[in-house]
Amino acid sequence: MNATPYHSIPLVKGLPLVGNLPKFLRDPLGNAQSLAVHGNVVRSRTFFETVTLLGPDANQFVLHDREGNFTSRGGWAYWIDAVFPGAIMAMDDPQHKHHRRIMQGAFKRSAMERYVQDMGPVIADVLATWPTGAGHTLKVFPQIKALTLNIAARVFMGMALGAEADRMNQAFIDTVAASLALVRRPLPPLAMWRGVRARRWLVQLMRSRLAEKRATESPDLFSQLCHARSEDGERFSDHEVVNHMIFLMMAAHDTTTSTLTTMVYCLARQPEWQDRLRQDALALPEAQLRYADLAGCERTEWVMKEALRLYPPLTSIPRKAARDCEFGGFQIPKGTPVGISPIHTHHLPSLWTRPTEFDPERFSPGRAEHRRHAYGYLPFGGGAHLCIGQHFADMEVKSVLHQLLRRYRFGVPEGYRMPYQLVPIAKPRDGLPISLQAL
Ligand code: HEM
């Protein structure tokens, strides 16, 4: 059967000039669900005209992509090239495969064991400064953001907390903000200009440390990247190490901050789950989580998975058609911007029991709803670009939760609903005020 031409794909026009952009920014799930009313292949305009492919089969078609129908570079370059040049996520094969093989070396088990060991004391120091007390509320989102930046300064860069780490963290915030700037040209004093300037500073900082990181292998990710080798013995050049470091910090940061924030929110609203996870945390022998303890955090893992299902930090994943292809009976010509929507798939009643409910046990071995389709649950993407930091994120989230639950009880008032924005960056609009009591 011949596929229907591209121009027959249903088009959702949205508002004059801005199309669906405001709706996408305000409510990415509602936006995807309103597109789905027209089918699983729908055209709409956010920043430019894009074809959204919906559902788990569409996710598999785009991400599994053994035929090479899609380019990740084509999907991401517009967003990240200005401040994250040389990012692995915006590479295609064979370049991507080459870089991924080397980068894998910085995520091997021996390295991971040391990362988890190094993050423990940072978490303890930062959590000790969180203010507690009756009647006191703490806006926890900025605190979590500062915590994950400090973890990154230590574990990625090998830096101690202090003025230099603070400066790096600010440079880093400016760089990330630029990748999401609506005005894409570096005009002072706009976000892109600040981001380009901040990136220059970060590059200088990394370059000034390169010789030392190359000379001796240390436990931080920077040094591990300098020493990483593929099975064939290939290594990164200095230039590549710097580009990868800056991108890795961005890929790790907002995503982990978002995951921790949504987990704290869910646990604040569900005190019985908070108590269960606390019991598990207290049953482990050490105040700081060790690599060997990860397996004992099963219920924390269900809660993490459920928070990532309800609030995936990457609500959609962009690609561009690298050649003419077909999906759902429609032609997709080479060069078409294509997007898939993990957040939409994560709320499909055909895959999930009562999808809007917080129900971590859906991930238990007995129910395993995430296994109903290989591409039905994809907070970390899938295929060749599957998140390389998935286990790192898992360790960091579990390490923070472990210490937080052993130290504090937290809550939100009855009936509180977090006003959460997922785009352009995931954050609670009110900072997520919680009450915090020391145990
Ligand atoms: C909960 C936290 C995280 C989430 C939800 C997340 C999500 C994702 C997703 C969806 C992708 C695929 C993008 C695509 O296919 O276009 C991705 C790729 C990537 N992530 Fe993560 N990520 C997280 C944490 C991390 C961490 C901690 C690191 C590093 C330590 C990291 C490093 C990367 C890198 C380097 C890529 C690109 C991989 C490639 O292109 O081969 N991420 N992430």
- H/E segment holding residue 260: helix 238-269
Under the banding of pLDDT at 50, 70 and 90, the label for residue 14 is confident
**pLDDT at residue 22 tops 90:** no
Helix (H, G, I), strand (E, B) or coil at 194: helix
Instruction: Give pLDDT, residue 401.
Output: 98
Report the DSSP pairing between strands 70-71 and 325-327: unpaired
For ligand 1, whether the C-beta of 343 sits within 6 Å is: no
Report in angstroms the alpha-carbon separations of 242 from 206, 220, 248. 6, 14, 10
Task: Report the percent of the chain where pLDDT is more than 70.
Answer: 100
State the average pLDDT over residues 377-394. 98
Does residue 1 sit within a domain? no
Does residue 197 sit within a domain? yes
**pLDDT at residue 106 tops 60:** yes
Number of domains the chain is built from = 1
**β-sheet bridge partners, residue 71:** 320
Assign residue 406 the CATH number of its domain.
1.10.630.10
For residue 62, the CA-to-ligand 1 centroid distance in Å is 17
Nearest Cα neighbor of 28 from 370, 187, 258 is: 258
Task: Assess contact for 190 and 177: CB atoms under 8 A.
Answer: no
For residue 318, the CA-to-ligand 1 centroid distance in Å is 13
CA-proximal residue: ligand 1, atom 6 (nearest): 380
Under the banding of pLDDT at 50, 70 and 90, the label for residue 178 is confident
- Tokens for 350? 């055909």
Under the banding of pLDDT at 50, 70 and 90, the label for residue 297 is very high
Under the banding of pLDDT at 50, 70 and 90, the label for residue 328 is very high
**pLDDT at residue 320 tops 80:** yes
For ligand 1, whether the C-beta of 400 sits within 6 Å is: no
- Between 23 and 329, residue with greater pLDDT: 329
State the average pLDDT over residues 411-437. 91
Task: Report the percent of the chain where pLDDT is more than 90.
Answer: 82
Q: What is the chain's mean pLDDT, rounded? A: 94
Task: Assess contact for 118 and 125: CB atoms under 8 A.
Answer: no
Instruction: Give pLDDT, residue 359.
Output: 98
CA distance 15 to 217: 55
Which domain, by its residues, includes 213?
6-438
Task: List pLDDT tens digits, range 233-264.
Answer: 999 999 999 999 999 998 999 999 999 999 99
For ligand 1, whether the C-beta of 62 sits within 6 Å is: no
CA distance 153 to 165: 6
DSSP category for residue 356: T
Instruction: Give pLDDT, residue 296.
Output: 85
Instruction: Give pLDDT, residue 1.
Output: 57
**pLDDT at residue 64 tops 80:** yes
**pLDDT at residue 216 tops 70:** yes
For residue 390, the CA-to-ligand 1 centroid distance in Å is 7
Which of 76, 79, 148, 387 for a ligand 1 pocket mutation test, highest count of atoms within 8 Å of Cβ? 387
Q: What is the pTM of this model?
A: 0.96
**pLDDT at residue 183 tops 90:** no
